[in-house]
Amino acid sequence: MIEDKNPQRTSLEELGEFGLIEHLTKNFDIKHSSTLTGIGDDAAVLDHKSKQIVVTTDLLIENVHFDLSYVPIKHLGYKAVVVNLSDVYAMNADATQITVSIAVSNRFPLEALEALYAGIETAAKLYNVDVVGGDTTSSTTGLIISVTAIGEVNEAEVVLRSGAKVNDLLVVSGDIGAAYMGLQVLEREKEVFKVNPQNQPDLDSYTYIIERQLKPEARKDIVELLKKLDVKPTSMIDISDGLSSEVIHLCKQSDVGVEIYENKIPLDPQVISTCEEFNIDSTTIALNGGEDYELLMTISQEDFPKIKGNPNLTVIGYITEKNRGMHLITRGEQAIPIIAKGWNALENQA
């Protein structure tokens, strides 16, 4: 579906392992004073002085987490970095370094890895993180990418999942459900393409949702905004598996209940129109879709005036006593229990 615009294919064997690492990482510069030694030694040396360190890692497997028939490989590199940084920001921390490990089969020419690393480099630049190491090895099946992100935070600023208190407001950044609907459109086009490879898809009315799927952003800006507004969330999590699943994590770990108002959930108009076209309920998508990489947080009622009217932050509900359970209050004022239908990585396995 994605045309190969670069027909040149240099085999990885021509460079050898060390030549390949050198070639792929030559453009990475060091931006943080906390990076004392980056790529090139046996291990990176970091010095975060008096800050606390957060560390998070993700593993992405071809045909489990991504499908290269419609994901441009440069976007994949970008996304692999962004999904990790999102976890760092969800701790209210600043991301400073990443490591990138890849396993590749001989199906991939050098040019494909150059594109992958161009995406990694673009994300590293934009989010201001140093690439300080990784590992490179071969795979017999497809492409595997693992990114580890390191961040720093002042001890007093760390935000955990476990701090939500009764009467806190439940707040979400941006809008949700778009990445999932983007995936539905891409999957549909893939099927059309299989039947008729001549068919040129017209994706104009889906640009936002496809971009949300292929090129998600991590909400570093929200962490900065909260600092500027002088709001420290009482708990926070990033939305990777869908609003339901994440709100359940917050409630379980904080020992509280929640009420979410259906009519408050922020949806982009393209999500609404695409849901209508696919005949799916947009609230179901917002609750269970996933891959939004927005931040879901609770804030104390006292902080409400500071976020009121901010277009980046929407209050969608509030925290209750645990014994009141977790409910969605529908437009018809019915209380429906929230259950996790989040995408389960193990579901695909035989």
Residue 191 one-letter amino acid: E
Size of the residue set binding Mg ion (CB under 5 A): 1
Instruction: Give the nearer residue to ligand ADP in terms of CB position, either 137 or 334.
Output: 137
Q: Confirm or reject binding of residue 17 to Mg ion (CB under 5 A).
A: no
The total number of residues written for the chain in this structure: 350
Instruction: Give the nearer residue to ligand ADP in terms of CB position, either 134 or 177.
Output: 134
Say how many CA atoms lie within 13 Å of 29 toward its Cβ: 5
Size of the residue set binding ligand ADP (CB under 6 A): 13
Q: Which of ligand ADP, Mg ion, none has residue 342 at its interface (CB below 5 to 8 Å by kind)?
A: none
Q: 173 and 222 in contact (C-beta within 8 Å)?
A: yes
What is the Cα gyration radius of the chain? 21
DSSP 8-state code for residue 312: T
Q: Which of ligand ADP, Mg ion, none has residue 42 at its interface (CB below 5 to 8 Å by kind)?
A: ligand ADP
Nearest partner of 130 among 257, 37, 239, judged by Cα = 37
DSSP 141-186: SS-EEEEEEEEEE-GGG---GGG--TTPEEEEES--SHHHHHHHHH
Contacting residue, 77, 109, 133, 290, with ligand ADP by CB under 6 A: 133
Contacting residue, 1, 10, 15, 21, with ligand ADP by CB under 6 A: 21
Q: Confirm or reject binding of residue 77 to ligand ADP (CB under 6 A).
A: no
Specify which residues 313 forms β-bridges with: 173
Specify which residues 320 forms β-bridges with: 257
Residue 183 one-letter amino acid: L
Q: 65 and 79 in contact (C-beta within 8 Å)?
A: no
Determine the interface stretch with ligand ADP among 134-142, 229-237, 250-258, 331-339 (rule: CB under 6 A): 134-142
Q: Which of Mg ion, ligand ADP, none has residue 100 at its interface (CB below 5 to 8 Å by kind)?
A: ligand ADP
Q: Which of Mg ion, ligand ADP, none has residue 21 at its interface (CB below 5 to 8 Å by kind)?
A: ligand ADP
Q: Confirm or reject binding of residue 135 to Mg ion (CB under 5 A).
A: yes
For 285-303, letters b (16+ CB in 10 Å) and e give bbbbbbbbbbbbbbbeeeb
Instruction: Give the nearer residue to ligand ADP in terms of CB position, either 102 or 251.
Output: 102
Instruction: Give the nearer residue to ligand ADP in terms of CB position, either 80 or 100.
Output: 100
Tell me, residue by residue from 32 to 51, as one string, x for binding to ligand ADP by CB under 6 A and - for no binding: -------xxxx---------
Q: Confirm or reject binding of residue 29 to ligand ADP (CB under 6 A).
A: no
**Residues near 333 by beta carbon (within 8 Å), at least 6 away in sequence:** none
Residue 273 one-letter amino acid: S
Tell me, residue by residue from 91 to 130, as one string, x for binding to ligand ADP by CB under 6 A and - for no binding: ---------x-x----------------------------
- What is the binding site for Mg ion (CB under 5 A)? 135
- What is the binding site for ligand ADP (CB under 6 A)? 21, 25, 39-42, 100, 102, 131, 133-136
